[in-house]
């Protein structure tokens, strides 16, 4: 490599896919703030602030609420590898791609994993989950709240009650839904929930907020050890309260991560300062807006987008009564097929600078996913996307009513 290179200069994009979405400019600015040292009083105070802010995001009193330094799937793995001991029975209700992901991560943790499934586009009834829990008696139930692959949002209050009644732990991946849909970690009896910044929280991918209930903390702390290179004479590898098998990962060892974020401040990884600033700003903005208001905003703009695509004569995939507020799956018209669907997406990107997505597995090439989330849950973003989509569809030979999308969305706003 010998030529000089220019500084990064991304093309302007309106990101209306399933995420990541355009980041709030205030979050971008926060990442440009200078660093302080890892144990600077300002750093530890900021970490404590972030813990408090994410308690509000997750609606919890859990002391152990912090960030995993990695993308949202790092949060999932940290939760599962720290909870699951080899041979533990785990139940995963699967209603989309991310149920499959939970299954395979749990399998890699050595769990005895059992799944139940509903067709993509549906969610589970409490009865279906309860029957499986009674039959299998799992130590852990692992489920996503919103499976972005199908846009469905699983109601969790009953599932939390069922798990508590049967003494099962409950893990929830709230990456795709949190901030845009109601989430109540404590009221729903959730033991660990994890998330990401890049959806309704309006931040970049790369940091995974997590919250851990006291009973999950007890289980995990029993599996902890102090790292050899920082252990001192007062630490005893054989402390009597160490009861569980050692966690298979160092990076995702939540016992260690808790000791880093907690008052002992035992060095583990080096906290990703710029992403900490980003996570703080995402939650600060949510706090300033009010969580309930943010959820209502996502509901409003999600409804406008839904009515807009219907107004263009398109069909919506799945059980709309249970879709997340912040994303809609639109069936690609038969006459286009997967290649035509990709051509429409390419036209939106190349001609209008607007990104929408497709989906995974059985829905790849069958649906477009259009998001209205975070900073982009805005009227101008919704109307612009619908106007551009109308043109792209017509150019691809699909008959669409002139102005049908924008008009239908505006009726929602009126």
* Smaller CB separation from its own copies, 157 or 343: 343
Choose one: 6-14, 161-169, 326-334, 380-388; the region binding its own copies (CB under 8 A): 6-14
**Which of 17, 224, 308, 405 lies at the binding interface for its own copies (CB under 8 A)?**
17
Choose one: 58-66, 72-80, 292-300, 309-317; the region binding its own copies (CB under 8 A): 72-80
User: In the numeric block, which tokens belong to residue 116?
Assistant: 């139940």
Q: What is the DSSP letter of 224?
A: -
Burial tier of 9 (Cβ tally within 10 Å: 0-12, 13-18, 19+):
exposed
| 98 phi and psi angles, rounded to 5 deg | -75, -15
How many Cβ atoms are within 10 Å of 265's Cβ, its own excluded? 13
Query: Is residue 204 close enough to count as binding its own copies by CB under 8 A?
Result: yes
Shortest CB 87 distance to its own copies, Å: 15
Query: Is residue 100 close enough to count as binding its own copies by CB under 8 A?
Result: yes
Intra-chain end-to-end CA distance of the chain, in Å? 56
Cα dihedral sign for 85, 91, 93, 97? positive
CA distance 3 to 8: 15
* Smaller CB separation from its own copies, 19 or 146: 19
Query: Is residue 414 close enough to count as binding its own copies by CB under 8 A?
Result: no
* Smaller CB separation from its own copies, 100 or 379: 100
Binders in 274-313 for its own copies, by CB under 8 A: 274-275, 277-278, 280-281, 284, 287-288
Q: How far is CA 311 from CA 16, 325, 377, 405, in A?
A: 18, 18, 19, 5
* Smaller CB separation from its own copies, 125 or 250: 250
Query: Is residue 339 close enough to count as binding its own copies by CB under 8 A?
Result: no
How many Cβ atoms are within 10 Å of 105's Cβ, its own excluded? 21
* Smaller CB separation from its own copies, 171 or 252: 252
Query: Is residue 98 close enough to count as binding its own copies by CB under 8 A?
Result: yes
Binders in 256-275 for its own copies, by CB under 8 A: 267-275
Element (DSSP H or E) covering residue 199: none
Shortest CB 334 distance to its own copies, Å: 20
Q: Which residues contact 299 (CB under 8 A, 6 or more apart)?
A: 325
In which residue are the tokens 């639109």 written?
330
Query: Is residue 337 close enough to count as binding its own copies by CB under 8 A?
Result: no
Query: Is residue 343 close enough to count as binding its own copies by CB under 8 A?
Result: no
Binders in 139-178 for its own copies, by CB under 8 A: 149
Shortest CB 20 distance to its own copies, Å: 6
Q: Which residues contact 27 (CB under 8 A, 6 or more apart)?
A: 197, 202, 203, 204, 278, 281, 282, 285
x/- map, 351-370, its own copies, by CB under 8 A? ----x-x--xx--x------
């Amino acid at each position: 490599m010998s030529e000089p290179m220019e500084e990064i200069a991304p093309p302007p994009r309106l990101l209306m896919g399933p995420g990541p979405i355009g980041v709030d400019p205030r979050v971008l600015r926060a990442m440009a703030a200078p660093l302080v040292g890892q144990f600077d009083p300002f750093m530890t105070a900021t970490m404590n602030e972030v813990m408090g802010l994410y308690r509000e995001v997750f609606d919890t009193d859990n002391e152990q609420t912090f960030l995993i330094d990695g993308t949202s799937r790092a949060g999932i793995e940290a939760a599962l590898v720290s909870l699951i001991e080899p041979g533990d029975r785990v139940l995963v209700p699967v209603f989309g791609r991310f149920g499959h992901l939970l299954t395979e991560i749990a399998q890699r943790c050595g769990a005895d994993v059992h799944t139940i499934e509903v067709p993509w586009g549906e969610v589970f009834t409490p009865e279906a989950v309860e029957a499986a829990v009674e039959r299998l008696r799992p130590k852990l139930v692992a489920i996503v709240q919103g499976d972005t692959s199908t846009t469905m949002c699983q109601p969790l209050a009953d599932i939390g009650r069922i798990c508590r009644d049967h003494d099962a732990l409950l893990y929830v991946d709230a990456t795709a839904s949190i901030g845009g849909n109601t989430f109540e970690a404590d009221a729903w009896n959730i033991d660990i929930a994890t998330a990401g910044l890049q959806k309704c929280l309006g931040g970049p991918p790369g940091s995974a907020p997590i919250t851990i209930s006291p009973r999950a903390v007890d289980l995990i702390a029993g599996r902890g050890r102090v790292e050899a290179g920082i252990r001192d004479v007062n630490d005893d590898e054989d402390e009597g309260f160490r009861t569980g098998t050692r966690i298979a990962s160092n990076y995702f060892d939540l016992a260690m991560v808790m000791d880093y974020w907690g008052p002992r401040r035992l060095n583990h990884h080096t906290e990703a300062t710029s992403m900490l600033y980003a996570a703080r700003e995402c939650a600060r903005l949510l706090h300033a807006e009010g969580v309930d208001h943010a959820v209502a905003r996502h509901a409003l703009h999600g409804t406008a987008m839904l009515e807009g695509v219907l107004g263009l004569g398109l069909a919506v995939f799945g059980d709309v009564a249970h879709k997340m507020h912040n994303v809609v799956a639109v069936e690609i018209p038969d006459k286009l097929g997967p290649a035509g669907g990709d051509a429409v997406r390419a036209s939106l990107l190349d001609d209008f600078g607007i990104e929408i997505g497709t989906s995974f597995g059985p829905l790849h090439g069958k649906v477009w996913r259009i998001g209205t989330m975070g900073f982009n849950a805005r009227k101008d973003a919704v109307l612009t996307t619908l106007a551009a989509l109308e043109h792209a569809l017509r150019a691809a030979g699909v008959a669409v009513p002139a102005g049908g999308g924008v008009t239908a969305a505006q009726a929602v706003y009126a």
